Amino acid sequence: MPAELDKIRNFIDGQFVEPVGGRYLDNIEPATGKAYSHVPDSDGRDVELAVAAAEKAFAGWSHTPTADRSRILLRIVDLIERDLEKLARAESVDTGKPLSLARGLDIPRAGSNFRFFATAILHTESEAHITDGVAFNYTLRQPRGIAGLISPWNLPLYLLSWKIAPAIACGNTAIAKPSELTPMTAYLLCEICREAGLPKGVLNVVHGTGPNVGAAITAHSKIGTISFTGGTVTGRKVAESCAPMFKKVSLELGGKNPNIVFADADQDAAIAGSLRSSFANQGQVCLCGSRVFVERSVYKDFVDHFVEKASQLRLGDPLEATTDQGAIVSKTQLDKVKFYVDLAQQEGGTIALGGSSPEAINERCQSGYFFSPTVITGLPVSCRVNREEIFGPVITITPFDNEDEVIGYANDNEYGLASSVWTQNLNRAHRVAERIHTGTVWVNCWLVRDLRVPFGGMKQSGVGREGGDEALRFFTEPKNVCIAK
Ligand code: NAD
């Protein structure tokens, strides 16, 4: 493993290197509020070095036989599995999420991402089109060159590996920038890639802030492919930077997802599922169902039972096995959550549960960024709290009277990432799913992910789709070869 775990370094051309400017940022552990390592505060000069390395590596990697690329990626999977405990702990310390969640979801999923694309590239098909008696056409799908991969803090390794794996599996080289708030697992992944035999320069990781590093990546003329996951406001800046160069861009952005519970649903399942979709990772999953709509005839019962179950979630030190709810990622994010809870009260809402930071968790966590699971009722659908993404453990619950009304509520939002529908009526399930404007509709479940399906958002939740064939197509350039008969 890297010798200095307290000082993260960039990974460029197969080497761990200091940032050119020699500057570092504090890397804060959210559960304690204290710096526990330092992350490079890199800039355009470091991106320039990464581009040179990625450019040099492209010639060899793009011509490496698919089977060899696949073998290296599968070795990465083995090493992620070998280091699962270490990676999970790093992820938990870095993000504040419960260790059990990092161990059970984030890190295994990072391994699955590499396995999925390592094997997918062995099974791709090429299209051929015969133009009557005139010509044969076939389509080459070639790697595009250097891919810039920018990710957020909420699921750091899970989301970054979801980009790195397809990009390099297809024969591109990559420059990745994890969030400056949660850089540790990306750092550990670099060592894994090196040990797995990934040739130098194929994956480069440049740490630092969005304005310094992210913007240098999106503005670089030699990085023609940009895959970005993060907030909608940042996504707009990325789009503006890429548009004049006609870069190929995928944007996975924010969400304000509706979670609809009909009276005919299995109420126990709906409550259990809604509890997860509301508060998983302290509500810091882009797919969390932060707007819960419940049919009026079961509304009171639902609220009572939901609040009772939510009050039983154990908020605690993320590293303790009994913890269900850990820390919020940063002071800034905690302040944002508090702002919206205050706003909810100004907008006429009632706090049915939570609404504040808990008493000190334990000695170690007394300065950590914690907030209790919070349920707000009585808000109009059109208010700011119901329209804007909070990205924390705060949900609203609103009654509705019929299907048309709730579909109107669900769609009356600038976001369109995901939704959940709870009903036992099969016809209704299909009908509602068809009419909701979100990239994913879960019926009687939440966060069930098959890596083959297209993943992404509508409206302000993004442009493009990740996952399966969509990712393989995104990271390759189709070229038609037309041969006259
Ligand atoms: P963010 O937009 O602040 O940052 C995301 C990344 O972009 C970070 O690495 C950041 O350093 C970088 N960045 C910032 N400014 C940049 C710029 N000008 N140019 C290039 N890069 C820049 O988002 P965040 O706060 O880290 O993450 C939370 C957001 O991410 C939420 O809105 C959430 O919904 C969204 N998200 C979306 C998905 C999805 O799949 N749709 C998944 C996870 C998170």
Q: What is the pLDDT of residues 410-444, one digit of tens each?
A: 999 999 999 999 999 999 999 999 999 999 999 99
User: Based on the domain organization, do 310 and 224 belong to the same domain?
Assistant: no
User: Based on the domain organization, do 221 and 337 belong to the same domain?
Assistant: no
What average pLDDT is seen over the chain?
A: 97
Residue 30 lies in a domain: yes
What CA–CA distance (Å, rounded) separates 80 from 46? 27
Digit-coded pLDDT (tens) for 454-481: 999 999 999 999 988 999 999 999 999 9
- 269: Cβ contacts below 8 Å, ≥ 6 apart: 422, 444
Question: Taking a C-beta distance cutoff of 8 angstroms, is the pair 460, 414 a contact?
Answer: yes
Q: Look up residue 485 and give its two tokens.
A: 């008969």
Residue 1, pLDDT > 90, answer: no
Digit-coded pLDDT (tens) for 331-349: 999 999 999 999 999 999 9
Q: Which CATH number do you get for residue 306?
A: 3.40.309.10
Digit-coded pLDDT (tens) for 15-49: 999 999 999 999 999 999 999 999 999 999 999 99
Residue nearest to ligand 1 atom 11, measured at CA = 210
Instruction: State the distance from the centre of ligand 1 to the C-alpha of 234, rounded, in angstroms.
Output: 6
User: Based on the domain organization, do 132 and 243 belong to the same domain?
Assistant: yes
234 CA closest ligand 1 atom index: 2
| 210 within ligand 1 shell (Cβ under 6 A) | yes
| 262 within ligand 1 shell (Cβ under 6 A) | no
Instruction: State the distance from the centre of ligand 1 to the C-alpha of 192, rounded, in angstroms.
Output: 25
Residue nearest to ligand 1 atom 34, measured at CA = 254
Candidates 172, 114, 189, 37; CA nearest to 476 is: 172
Digit-coded pLDDT (tens) for 282-314: 999 999 999 999 999 999 999 999 999 999 999
| 180 within ligand 1 shell (Cβ under 6 A) | yes
| 388 within ligand 1 shell (Cβ under 6 A) | no
User: Based on the domain organization, do 107 and 202 belong to the same domain?
Assistant: yes
User: Based on the domain organization, do 14 and 153 belong to the same domain?
Assistant: yes
Candidates 368, 369, 398; CA nearest to 383 is: 398
Instruction: State the distance from the centre of ligand 1 to the C-alpha of 405, rounded, in angstroms.
Output: 32
What CA–CA distance (Å, rounded) separates 369 from 334? 6
Catalytic positions: 252, 286
Instruction: State the distance from the centre of ligand 1 to the C-alpha of 313, rounded, in angstroms.
Output: 28
178 CA closest ligand 1 atom index: 9
Residue nearest to ligand 1 atom 35, measured at CA = 230
Residue 234 lies in a domain: yes
Query: What pLDDT is attached to residue 6?
Result: 84
461 CA closest ligand 1 atom index: 41
Question: pLDDT-derived band of residue 360, with 50, 70 and 90 as boundaries?
Answer: confident
Residue 255, pLDDT > 80, answer: yes
Residue 5, pLDDT > 60, answer: no
Residue nearest to ligand 1 atom 43, measured at CA = 286
Instruction: State the distance from the centre of ligand 1 to the C-alpha of 348, rounded, in angstroms.
Output: 31
Residue nearest to ligand 1 atom 39, measured at CA = 252
CA distance to 43, 81, 251, 417, 463, per residue, from 238 (Å) = 17, 34, 8, 19, 12
Residue 14 lies in a domain: yes
The model carries a pTM of 0.97
| 106 within ligand 1 shell (Cβ under 6 A) | no
Residue 282 lies in a domain: yes
Instruction: State the distance from the centre of ligand 1 to the C-alpha of 138, rounded, in angstroms.
Output: 38
Q: Look up residue 28 and give its two tokens.
A: 């804060």
User: Based on the domain organization, do 248 and 262 belong to the same domain?
Assistant: no
Question: Taking a C-beta distance cutoff of 8 angstroms, is the pair 265, 425 a contact?
Answer: no
Residue 1 lies in a domain: no
User: Based on the domain organization, do 376 and 303 belong to the same domain?
Assistant: yes
- 49: Cβ contacts below 8 Å, ≥ 6 apart: 12, 13, 17, 20
Instruction: State the distance from the centre of ligand 1 to the C-alpha of 254, rounded, in angstroms.
Output: 8
Residue 106 lies in a domain: yes
Mutate to test the pocket of ligand 1, among 154, 331, 458 (most ligand atoms within 8 A of CB): 154
Digit-coded pLDDT (tens) for 130-178: 999 999 999 999 999 999 999 999 999 999 999 999 999 999 999 999 9
Instruction: State the distance from the centre of ligand 1 to the C-alpha of 228, rounded, in angstroms.
Output: 7
| 438 within ligand 1 shell (Cβ under 6 A) | no
SS3 string, the chain, reads CCCCCCECCEEECCEEECCCCCCEEEEEECCCCEEEEEEECCCHHHHHHHHHHHHHHHHHHHCCCHHHHHHHHHHHHHHHHHCHHHHHHHHHHHHCCCHHHHHHHHHHHHHHHHHHHHHHCCCCCCCEEEECCCEEEEEEEEECCEEEEECCCCCHHHHHHHHHHHHHHCCCEEEEECCCCCCHHHHHHHHHHHHHCCCCCCEEECCCCHHHHHHHHHHCCCEEEEEEECCHHHHHHHHHHHHHHCCEEEEECCCCCEEEECCCCCHHHHHHHHHHHHHHHHHCCCCCCCEEEEEHHHHHHHHHHHHHHHHCCCECCCCCCCCCECCCCCHHHHHHHHHHHHHHHHCCCEEEECCCCCCCCCCCCCCCCCCCCEEEECCCCCCHHHHCCCCCCEEEEEEECCHHHHHHHHHCCCEECEEEEECCCHHHHHHHHHHCCCCEEEECCCCCCCCCCCECCEECCEECCECHHHHHHHCEEEEEEEEEC
Query: What pLDDT is attached to residue 408?
Result: 98
Q: What is the mean pLDDT of residues 218-234?
A: 98
User: Based on the domain organization, do 425 and 312 belong to the same domain?
Assistant: yes
Query: What pLDDT is attached to residue 356?
Result: 98
Candidates 388, 389, 397, 312; CA nearest to 351 is: 397
User: Based on the domain organization, do 397 and 433 belong to the same domain?
Assistant: yes
Residue 236, pLDDT > 70, answer: yes
Buried b (16+ CB within 10 A) or exposed e, 421-459: bbbeeeebbeebeeebbbbbbbbbebbeeebeeebbbbb
Count of structural domains within the chain? 2
Q: What is the mean pLDDT of residues 360-379?
A: 96
pLDDT cut 70: percent of the chain above it: 99
Chain centroid to Cα 453, Å, comes to 16
Q: Which CATH number do you get for residue 141?
A: 3.40.605.10
| 121 within ligand 1 shell (Cβ under 6 A) | no
User: Based on the domain organization, do 194 and 269 belong to the same domain?
Assistant: no
Candidates 52, 24, 33; CA nearest to 208 is: 24
Q: Look up residue 385 and give its two tokens.
A: 């709290």
Candidates 473, 414, 447, 422; CA nearest to 125 is: 473
Largest CA distance in the chain: 80
User: Based on the domain organization, do 330 and 466 belong to the same domain?
Assistant: no
User: Based on the domain organization, do 216 and 269 belong to the same domain?
Assistant: no
Sign for the pseudo-dihedral over CA of 186, 372, 306, 293: negative
| 316 within ligand 1 shell (Cβ under 6 A) | no
Full residue range of the structural domain in which residue 238 is found: 6-253+461-484
Q: Look up residue 125 and give its two tokens.
A: 């098909």
| 290 within ligand 1 shell (Cβ under 6 A) | no
Query: What pLDDT is attached to residue 126?
Result: 87
Query: What pLDDT is attached to residue 2?
Result: 43
Q: What is the mean pLDDT of residues 107-124?
A: 98
Residue 336 lies in a domain: yes
Question: Taking a C-beta distance cutoff of 8 angstroms, is the pair 31, 96 a contact?
Answer: yes
Residue 437 lies in a domain: yes
| 91 within ligand 1 shell (Cβ under 6 A) | no
Mutate to test the pocket of ligand 1, among 229, 247, 337 (most ligand atoms within 8 A of CB): 229
Expressed in angstroms, the distance from the first to the final Cα of the chain is 58
